[in-house]
A and B are shown apart, each in its own frame.
Chain A
C-alpha cells in the first residue's frame, strides 16, 4: 500500500481503500453477530485448535468436560437435579399433579416441558431476552425426549402415569432453569431431566372402592409411599457442533460462537435414535450427517455410562 506524507492512503489507490473498507465492514458485522466478543486472533486460535484436535481448554474434539450431578436439590417438588458440565449449570425439576387425560389419548398421562433461561446466566437474557432461546431449547428437548405427538417413542412410559383410564392421570411438569451458561445447554438440560426423573417419586394413589365407574372417582393420595420411574429408557442428548471442517462435542460458548451448524441427537440405552434437531443456518452434506450420527452414537454410550454412575452416586449421597 502507498501512503502519502500525512499517513493517509494516496488518492487514486482505489483498490487498497476498498480493501480496508471491506475489512471494517466485516469486523462490524462480526461484532454484531458473535454472541461472545472475540478478536480475529482468538477466533483463529479456537478454529486452529479444533482442526489440530487440541481445543483451547486442552480437550480433544470428542471429549466432554467433567460432569457432576446433584439430586434432590429442590425440596418442594417430586424430583429435581442439578447438573454441571464445566461452567454450565442447570437445574431441572419434576412436579406431578393429578389431572384428566386428553380425550384423544385416554390411556396416557401428559408430560410438559418448560425451559427458562435465568438472567443470572447472561445479561442478554434480561426481560424477555431469554424467551427465544428457552423456546428453542424446550422444542429441541421435546423432540429428543418425548417422541412424536402421539407420545409414541417417548423416553418416559406415558401409560404408567394413568390412575383411572380416561378419568385420572398424573401430569408431569418438567421445568428447567439455566443458572449459568457456558455452551452445550441442550446436553446439560437433557442430563438434568434424566437425573430429575430418576429422582422422582410419584405418590401411590388408591381409588376409593365403588367410585371407579363414577365420572369423578374419589382418590386417596398416600404421602409415604412413592413409586419410582423406570428411567432406563430416557435417552441422553449428544450435540455435535461443526466448526470449520470438523465437529466437536460439548462446545463452550466461545466455540459455539464459531459454529456453522450443530446437530443434537438423542440416543437411548439400546443405541436407538430418539430424536434429531439441527440448528444453525449453514447446510450440511447428508453423508456428513450420517457420519456425525455414528460418531454421536459412540459418544452417547460413554455419556450414558458416566451419567448413570453419577446419578447413582448422587442418589446414594442424598440417602446417606
Chain B
C-alpha cells in the first residue's frame, strides 16, 4: 500500500515531517491534584495525578524517595470496533510500566521521601501514538499538581514507510508493519529517557528517524511550555496579583 503519495502527501494529507494537530487543556478533573487532556489529532487522553500523599500501602513505602505509580486504561469506546477489555491486560501493564519509568526519571523523587504519587491515564480516543500522548498528558498533569521535576518530558513517535521517515504516525500508518520509534526526551537537558522500536531498520536510517522524532518532541515541548505559561498567567490573574 502507498503511504506516501508521489506528491509527498500522507494518507491524512500531512507532509512526512508534519505532526498532527496538538491540543492540550489543564484541569480536566477537578478533584485530582493535577490533571490534563492531551490530543494529538484523533488521539485523546486524560491524565490525572493524585499526590504527593501518604503511602497507602505501608509495605511499599520508600524512605529515601517518593513512590511513583501509574495506571493506563482504555475506554471501551476508544477504538474503532468496540471491545470490552479488562484492566490489567498485558498491553496496558506494559504501557503503565513505560509511563511510570519515564515519569520517574524526571520527577525529583528524592525531595518527597515517604510519599506516593499516582498517575492515572485514560485513553478516550485511540488513533496511534497513545503512548506518546499519555506521556505528554502525564507531564502536564504533574506540572499542574506542582510536583518538582527536572524537566518536562515530552514524547513523540516516528516511523519509516515507503523509504520516507514519517513523523507522528496515526493508527493506519502504525499498523502498516513498518518500524515505529517512540521517543521520549528531556528537552532542556537534551537527554533521551525513552526509546522503543519494533521491526527492523538500518542504523543510518534510524539516525534520521530518531532525529525527526527529537524534532517532534521539541515542538511538543514548546507547545506544552506555552500551555503551562498560559495556565500560570490565568492563575495569577485569578489571584489578582
Chain A interface (Cβ within 8 Å of chain B)? 74-77, 80, 87, 89, 91, 93, 95, 97, 114, 116, 118-123, 126-128, 173, 175, 177, 179-182
B29 with A179: CB separation less than 8 A: yes
- A-chain residues with CB within 8 Å of residue B31 when the two chains form the complex: 87, 121-122, 180-182
**Interface pair B35/A75, CB less than 8 Å apart:** no
- Spot the interface stretch: B118-126, B161-169, B233-241: B118-126
Chain B contacts to A: CB under 8 angstroms = 28-32, 35, 42, 46-48, 50, 56, 71, 73, 75-77, 79-80, 82, 84, 87-88, 118, 120-122, 124-125
Query: In the bound complex, do residue A118 and residue B80 qualify as a contact, i.e. CB atoms below 8 Å apart?
Result: no
**Closest beta carbon of chain B to A206's beta carbon, Å:** 23
Task: Assess whether A120 is in contact with B32, with CB atoms less than 8 Å apart.
Answer: yes
CB neighbours of B84 from chain A (8 A): 114
Inter-chain contact B118/A175, CB cutoff 8 Å: no
A–B pairs, 5, beta carbons within 8 Å: A89-B30, A119-B48, A120-B32, A177-B122, A180-B31
Given the interface pairs A87-B30, A179-B28, the reply to whether A75 lies near B42 with Cβ below 8 Å is: yes
- Residues on B with beta carbons closer than 8 Å to the beta carbon of A77: 77, 82
Q: Closest chain A residue to B69 by CB distance?
A: A126
Interface residue from A87, A89, A118 paired with B120 (Cβ < 8 Å):
A118
What distance in Å separates the Cβ of A66 from its nearest Cβ neighbour in chain B?
Answer: 13
CB distance from B45 to the nearest CB of A (A): 10
> Closest 3 A-B residue pairs measured CB to CB?
A120-B48, A93-B77, A175-B76
A114 to B76, CA, bound (A): 9
Nearest opposing residue in chain B for A173, CB measure: B82
In the complex, the answer to whether B75 meets A118 with C-beta atoms within 8 Å is yes
A175–B30 alpha-carbon span in the complex (Å): 22
Q: For the complex, give the distance between the alpha carbons of A177 and B124 in Å.
A: 9
Q: Are A74 and B82 in contact (CB under 8 A)?
A: no
One of B35, B50, B124 near A123 (C-beta < 8 A): B50
> Which secondary structure dominates where chain B touches chain A?
loop
Contact A118 B30 (CB under 8 A): no
Contacts A91-B124, A126-B120 hold; do A121 and B76 have CB atoms under 8 A apart?
no
A residues less than 8 Å from B47 (CB atoms) = 120
Q: In the complex, what distance in Å separates the CA atom of A177 from the CA atom of B125?
A: 13
- Could you tell me the distance between the alpha carbons of A118 and B30 in the complex, rounded to whole angstroms? 14
| Of B31, B50, B71, B118, most A-chain CB atoms within 10 Å | B31
Give chain A residues whose Cβ lies under 8 Å from the Cβ of B120.
118-120, 123, 126
- On chain B, the residues within 8 Å of A175 by CB distance are 75-77, 82
Q: Closest A-chain residue to B49, C-beta based? A: A120
In the complex, which residues of chain B have a beta carbon less than 8 angstroms from the beta carbon of A76?
42, 77, 79-80, 125
Q: Which chain A residue lies CB-closest to B42? A: A75
Whole-angstrom distance between the alpha carbons of A254 and B186 in the complex? 40
Residue on B nearest A131 in the bound complex, by CB: B87
B76/A128 in contact, CB under 8 A: no
Q: Do B124 and A120 have beta carbons less than 8 Å apart?
A: no
Are the CB atoms of B50 and A75 closer together than 8 Å?
A: no
A89, B73: Cα distance in complex, Å? 17
Asked whether A116 lies within 8 Å of B82 as measured between CB atoms, the reply is no
User: A residues within 8 A CB of B77?
Assistant: 74, 76-77, 80, 93, 95, 175, 177
When chains A and B are docked, how far (Å) is the Cα of A182 from the Cα of B50?
A: 15
Checking A75, A114, A118, A120 against B125 with a beta-carbon cut-off of 8 angstroms, the contacting residue is A75
Contact B73 A118 (CB under 8 A): yes
User: Chain A residues with Cβ under 8 A from B79's Cβ?
Assistant: 76
- CB–CB A116/B75 < 8 A: yes
Which residue of chain B lies nearest to A74 when distances are taken between CB atoms in the complex? B77
C-alpha spacing A175/B84, complex, angstroms: 10
Q: Which of B28, B50, B73 contacts A180, CB < 8 Å?
A: B28
Chain A residues whose CB sits within 8 angstroms of the CB of B46 once the complex forms: 118, 120, 179
Within 8 Å CB of A173, what residues of B? 76, 82
Contacts of A179 in B (CB 8 A): 28-29, 46, 122
